[in-house]
Amino acid sequence: MFDLISFDQLTAAWGPQISIILRFCSAFALLHFIVLRPLYNFFLHPLREYPGPRLWAASVLPWACMFLSGQSHRRLRELHDRYGRTVRLGPNELSFTVPEAWNDIMGRSKPGIRQENPKAPWYLSPSSKDIIGALHDDHTRMRRLMAGGFSTAAMQQQQQIIKSYVDLLIGRLHISAAQDDLIDIHAWYNYCTFDIIGDLTFGESFGCLDEAAMHPWISLIFANIRLTAFILVFKRIPVLLALLPFFVSYKLVKQFREHQQISREKVAKRLEFKDSRADFVQDMITGKAGQVECLRGMQTMSRDELVNNSVILTLAGSETTATSLAGATYLIMKDRRVERRILEELRSRFSEAEDMDLMNVATLPYLGAVTEECLRLYPPGPNAQPRITPPKGNTILGKYIPGNTILGIPHRAMYLSESNFTRPTEFIPERWLDPTRSEEFAGDRRECFHPFSYGPRNCIGMNLAYAELRLILARVIWDFEMEISASSEGWMENQDSYLLWQKQPLWVRLVPRKGDSESVRESAPYSSRDRL
Ligand code: HEM
């Protein structure tokens, strides 16, 4: 109505010619976007040879609908099952479940062969002043500055801090188990991983384990994850920005501002510490641990970068690990055989829970196999972290792909593909055991498995994540027999996914173990064949 009135007023003022021109332009724009462009995309576009649904080849909208539906993980797997290992997901988008794609898409530049594929611009975080969103050179600088905090030497220094929070978690779980019938184990894992990352980043915990509650700052961060997911789609398809107010409330925007302010204050407080501390902020100020004098005073990372990277570490280093722990707990609770084997392995190596630390649990083969299998069936970021070919194009899997093509490797579709793993939907940690794994799994394409991504922008916190996963799982299984509540049946299978999984509480009953492995009950082996 308003449009018509203003259009008529315009034509009255400018005469009939302008009216004809405007009508022609509108008609042409409509024709272009609704008919010509899709026809070009479908019949003439350089990616026309790649298989995929027709509508998806014509327009980016089906992808957007999939992304906003929270069903990407399911849909991507169905599409790969139906169309093969390379699928066209949009006019200029390809998705791969071929193991070699990791190197070609995420790997470093190879002079004369291939340039590095940068992150898709709409995928970058709202600020490019952090390690996840930074362009190539800034990323290299930040990554170098942050790497010291993730070295083996740094982890040895961090060991006592991490262990103290795991002790606290176990103590708090014992108290809760005595008081409550059911507890949300995912929430407790979150409390623990946030307290650890708070201490490792800012030199103080968030107090989540003490309070048995998420710190309000963290709730703000979670609000921002949702916001980021929506912004990402709207950045890719700017015309959809008109829909933003329907998805993003004023409250969310206000929370985003508050969150920026609190982040600044937290970093400012941390910078007031005069003595040097073995935390990530220290590394970002000084570069490598031990090179304090040589780098202090040089502008190595701006204040904004410091703030943003601290927030990134808090987020990336906690929720992902807590998600994996919850997923692993769920899968282990569903398969008592696996639980028994873990317990046997632990009891054959340790006589006291206190003997376990980050380093010695890393040498337990079965526990290691279980963590791999859990990350395979339930990768915390289930979908792709897209890249884009440089303007001149690139050679991917031996074929020229034109410039500005979006390239994705959806983790979950890759790991649940029958081309890559035998009995892919079943929980079989033994497939990872060398040298005792059965011949049946000899054909598993393990090189396709990169839950922490691959190449120069892979996860900087991978070793820390594995260390936390193993220690926390080992300690929880050592102390408790866990039983899933009926209300959490299907917890894993029924989740939606955006950038991360959208999780419900994982309600479990905890019973302190009496000390004999016989207390592990029987259950049928877990297979998610029909549900994932
Ligand atoms: C199970 C736990 C974890 C998983 C599955 C995971 C997975 C990933 C993945 C897939 C990426 C690549 C993202 C992209 O390409 O956009 C990534 C990047 C990153 N992760 Fe993790 N992560 C985990 C834990 C951690 C921890 C504990 C930390 C730090 C304390 C961390 C810090 C980071 C950072 C800073 C990046 C960006 C690296 C860069 O761009 O150079 N992550 N992670």
Q: What is the DSSP string of 185-224?
A: HHHHHHHHHHHHHHHHHHSS---HHHHTS--HHHHHHHHH
Q: Is the pLDDT of residue 174 over 90?
A: yes
Which tokens belong to 390?
Answer: 């440089």
Distance, CA of 181 to CA of 142 (rounded, Å): 46
Query: Which tops the pLDDT comparison, 391 or 290?
Result: 391
* Phi, psi (deg, nearest 5) at residue 357: -140, 180
CA of 184 from ligand 1 middle (Å) equals 25
**Nearest residue to 283 via CA among 291, 294, 293:** 291
**What 3-state DSSP class applies to 515?**
coil
**pTM of the predicted model as reported, rounded to 2 decimal places:** 0.89
- Residue 459 in marked binding region: yes
Average pLDDT over residues 31-48: 84
Q: Is the pLDDT of residue 259 over 60?
A: yes
Q: Is the pLDDT of residue 409 over 80?
A: yes
Number of the ligand 1 atom closest to the C-alpha atom of 324: 1
Average pLDDT over residues 247-258: 70
Average pLDDT over residues 100-116: 93
Residue 401: beta bridge partners?
394
Query: Which tops the pLDDT comparison, 9 or 67?
Result: 67
Residue 509: beta bridge partners?
483
Which tokens belong to 440?
Answer: 């049946």
- pLDDT one-digit tens code per residue, 59-74: 999 999 998 888 999 9
ipTM of the modeled complex: 0.99
Strand duo 406-408 + 387-388: pairing: antiparallel
Strands (E), 194-325: none
452 CB near ligand 1 (under 6 Å):
yes
Element (H, E) at 88: strand 86-90
Lowest mean pLDDT among 27-31, 126-130, 231-235: 27-31
461 CB near ligand 1 (under 6 Å):
yes
Average pLDDT over residues 442-460: 97
Share of the chain above pLDDT 90, in %: 55
Which tokens belong to 204?
Answer: 């103080």
Average pLDDT over residues 24-39: 74
Whether the Cβ atoms of residue 474 and residue 467 lie closer than 8 Å to each other = no
Distance, CA of 73 to CA of 413 (rounded, Å): 7
* Phi, psi (deg, nearest 5) at residue 401: -115, 130
Distance, CA of 144 to CA of 131 (rounded, Å): 10
**Nearest residue to 270 via CA among 77, 262, 490:** 262
143 CB near ligand 1 (under 6 Å):
yes
Which tokens belong to 34?
Answer: 């609704």
Residue 183 is predicted with a pLDDT of 95
Average pLDDT over residues 216-222: 69
Distance, CA of 444 to CA of 93 (rounded, Å): 27
312 CB near ligand 1 (under 6 Å):
yes
> Whose CA is closest to atom 3 on ligand 1?
320
> Whose CA is closest to atom 14 on ligand 1?
385
318 CB near ligand 1 (under 6 Å):
no
380 CB near ligand 1 (under 6 Å):
yes
> Whose CA is closest to atom 19 on ligand 1?
459
Distance, CA of 187 to CA of 130 (rounded, Å): 27
Which of 57-71, 256-270, 359-373 has the highest average model confidence (pLDDT)? 359-373
> Whose CA is closest to atom 39 on ligand 1?
457
Among 459, 471, 499, name the best residue to mutate to test ligand 1's pocket (greatest count of ligand atoms within 8 A of Cβ).
459
Number of the ligand 1 atom closest to the C-alpha atom of 468: 27
Q: Report the mean per-residue pLDDT for the chain.
A: 86
Number of the ligand 1 atom closest to the C-alpha atom of 456: 41
Which tokens belong to 393?
Answer: 């194009």
Banded pLDDT at 2 (limits 50, 70, 90): very low
**Nearest residue to 314 via CA among 203, 235, 405, 437:** 203
Banded pLDDT at 390 (limits 50, 70, 90): very high
Lowest mean pLDDT among 149-153, 170-174, 346-350, 395-399: 149-153
Distance, CA of 143 to CA of 478 (rounded, Å): 37
Cis peptide before 451 (omega within 30 of 0): no
385 CB near ligand 1 (under 6 Å):
yes
Whether the Cβ atoms of residue 376 and residue 449 lie closer than 8 Å to each other = yes
Domain 136-381+451-531 of CATH type 1.10.630.10: yes
Query: Which tops the pLDDT comparison, 128 or 329?
Result: 329
Query: Which tops the pLDDT comparison, 297 or 222?
Result: 222
> Whose CA is closest to atom 30 on ligand 1?
317
In the chain, domain spans: 38-124+387-425, 136-381+451-531
Whether the Cβ atoms of residue 460 and residue 146 lie closer than 8 Å to each other = yes
Average pLDDT over residues 481-485: 95
Residue 49 is predicted with a pLDDT of 95
CA of 500 from ligand 1 middle (Å) equals 12
317 CB near ligand 1 (under 6 Å):
yes
CA of 453 from ligand 1 middle (Å) equals 8
**15 φψ region: left (φ > 0), alpha (ψ -120 to 50), beta (else):** left
Question: Distance of alpha carbon 485 from its chain centroid, rounded?
Answer: 27
Number of the ligand 1 atom closest to the C-alpha atom of 465: 27
Give the per-residue SS3 of 5-48: HHHHHHHHHHHHHHHHHHHHHHHHHHHHHHHHHHHHHHHCCCCC
- Residues with Cβ within 8 Å of 38's Cβ and at least 6 positions away in sequence, in order, are 58, 59
The CA–CA distances, whole Å, from 132 to 16, 87, 88, 313 equal 53, 26, 26, 10
**Nearest residue to 295 via CA among 311, 309, 313, 282:** 282
Q: Is the pLDDT of residue 289 over 50?
A: no
Q: Is the pLDDT of residue 527 over 70?
A: no
Residue 22: beta bridge partners?
none
Residue 96 is predicted with a pLDDT of 98
Q: What is the DSSP string of 288-355?
A: STT-HHHHTTS--S-HHHHHHHHHHHHHHTTHHHHHHHHHHHHHHHT-HHHHHHHHHHHHHH-SSGGG
CA of 457 from ligand 1 middle (Å) equals 9
CA of 462 from ligand 1 middle (Å) equals 7
